[in-house]
Structure 1
Amino acid sequence: MIANNSYIKIFGTMGLSIGLMVILFLSSEQEVHRNNAFIRRYPPHPITKLYDLDVIHNSYYIAGFDRDLLYLGNRSAPWHLLQVNMRTRDTLPIRLTPSGNGLRYRSIHTSVLPPYFFVMDGTMPFILRGRLGEWKAYAWMEGAAFFDRAVPVDSHLMFIRTISSKTQKSTLGIIKKTTGFQVTLDTTLLEAQIDGIFDVDGTMVLSKETSKLGYVYYYRNQFMTMNLEMKGLHRHRTIDTVETAQISLAEPNLKGDVSMKSLPLFINKATCMSRNLLLIVSDRLGKNESEEMLDEATIVDAYDYLKGSYEYSFYIYDIKKHKVREFAVHEGYLVALLDTQISVYETREPYFDGSILTNNLNIKDYLLASSGRRSKTRTTE
Structure 2
Amino acid sequence: MKNTSSLKSMFIYTVAILHIMLFTYAAISKILDFQNFRAQLGQSPLLSIFADVVSIAVPSIEILLSVLLMIPKIRIRALQYSCFLMFMFTVYIVMILNFTSFIPCSCGGVLEKLGWSEHLIFNIIFVVLGLSAIAFSKGLRHTILISAIGGSIGTLVLITLFLLSEDKMQKENPFIRRLPQATAAKIAEIKLPNNTVYIAGATKQNIYVADRLAPLQVYEYDASLKTKKHYTIVLDRENFKFRELRLKVLYPDFYLYDGSVPVIYKGSITDWNAKVVSDGEYGFSDIIFINPNQRIILGKERNVKQNILALIKDKDSLQVSVHNSILKKQIDGAFDISGTMEFSYEWNKFIYIYRYRNQFIVTDPELKKKFEGNTIDTVSKARIKVVKIKSGDTKMAAPPLVVNKMATVVNNLLMVNSMLQGRYESSEAWKHSTVIDVYDINTGNYILSFYVYDENGARMRDCYASDDALYVIIGAELQKYGYGVRIKSQFKYKKIPAGDRNVDRTPEEKSRSNY
Q: Matches of 1:238 and 1:113 in 2, distance apart?
A: 27
3-state SS of 1:105 partner: coil
Q: Contact (CA 8 Å) 1:205, 1:271: kept in 2 or not?
A: yes
Q: Contact (CA 8 Å) 1:332, 1:348: kept in 2 or not?
A: no
3-state SS of 2:278 partner: strand
- Which residue number corresponds to residue 168 of structure 1? 305
- Which residue number corresponds to residue 302 of structure 1? 438
3-state SS of 2:394 partner: coil
CA spacing shift, 1:350–1:285, aligned 2, 3 Å: closer
Deviation at 1:143, TM superposition (A): 1.7
Q: Deviations over 1:22-78 (max 9, x none)?
A: xxxxxxxxxxxxxx9421111112112112211031111111123311111211001
Q: Unpaired segments of 5 or more residues in structure 1?
A: 1-35, 357-381
1:335 aligned onto 2:471: yes
Q: Unpaired segments of 5 or more residues in structure 2?
A: 1-172, 493-515
- Which residue number corresponds to residue 64 of structure 1? 201
- Which residue number corresponds to residue 226 of structure 1? 363
Deviation at 1:291, TM superposition (A): 1.0
Q: Which has the larger radius of gyration?
A: 2
Q: Contact (CA 8 Å) 2:190, 2:225: kept in 1 or not?
A: no
- Which residue number corresponds to residue 192 of structure 1? 329
Matches within 5 A, 1:1-381: 37-87=174-224, 89-165=226-302, 167-252=304-389, 254-355=390-491
3-state SS of 1:199 partner: helix
Q: Contact (CA 8 Å) 1:173, 1:186: kept in 2 or not?
A: yes
- Which residue number corresponds to residue 29 of structure 1? none
Q: TM-score, normalised by structure 1?
A: 0.80
Q: Contact (CA 8 Å) 1:283, 1:294: kept in 2 or not?
A: no
Q: Matches of 2:235 and 2:369 in 1, distance apart?
A: 37
Which has the larger displacement, 221-230 or 163-172?
163-172
Q: Contact (CA 8 Å) 1:144, 1:181: kept in 2 or not?
A: no
By percentage of residues, which structure has more strand?
A: 1
Q: Deviations over 1:197-217 (max 9, x none)?
A: 000011011111111111101
Q: Matches of 2:325 and 2:266 in 1, distance apart?
A: 30
3-state SS of 2:416 partner: strand
Deviation at 1:144, TM superposition (A): 4.0
Q: Deviations over 1:112-141 (max 9, x none)?
A: 111211110111111010111211111110
Q: Deviations over 1:164-204 (max 9, x none)?
A: 11543100112212112212110001101000000001101
Q: Contact (CA 8 Å) 2:181, 2:486: kept in 1 or not?
A: no
3-state SS of 2:405 partner: coil
Over the aligned positions, Cα root-mean-square deviation in angstroms equals 1.7
Q: Matches of 2:384 and 2:175 in 1, distance apart?
A: 22
Letter in 1 for 2:450: F
Q: Contact (CA 8 Å) 1:295, 1:321: kept in 2 or not?
A: no
3-state SS of 1:123 partner: coil
Deviation at 1:111, TM superposition (A): 0.6
Q: Contact (CA 8 Å) 1:113, 1:154: kept in 2 or not?
A: no
Q: Matches of 2:356 and 2:241 in 1, distance apart?
A: 34
CA spacing shift, 1:243–1:85, aligned 2, 3 Å: same
Deviation at 1:89, TM superposition (A): 1.8
3-state SS of 1:292 partner: helix
Q: Deviations over 1:194-247 (max 9, x none)?
A: 000000011011111111111101111101111111114311111111111000
Q: Matches of 1:75 and 1:109 in 2, distance apart?
A: 7
Q: Matches of 2:402 and 2:321 in 1, distance apart?
A: 30
CA spacing shift, 1:88–1:54, aligned 2, 3 Å: closer
Q: Matches of 2:341 and 2:262 in 1, distance apart?
A: 19
Q: Matches of 1:316 and 1:100 in 2, distance apart?
A: 40
- Which residue number corresponds to residue 73 of structure 2? none
Q: Deviations over 1:93-112 (max 9, x none)?
A: 21011113534322211111
Deviation at 1:262, TM superposition (A): 1.2
Q: Deviations over 1:294-352 (max 9, x none)?
A: 22111111111212211111111111111111111112111011111111111123413
Aligned residues: 320
3-state SS of 2:261 partner: coil
3-state SS of 1:250 partner: strand
Letter in 2 for 1:237: N
Letter in 1 for 2:279: E
Deviation at 1:355, TM superposition (A): 4.8
Which has the larger displacement, 255-264 or 239-248?
255-264
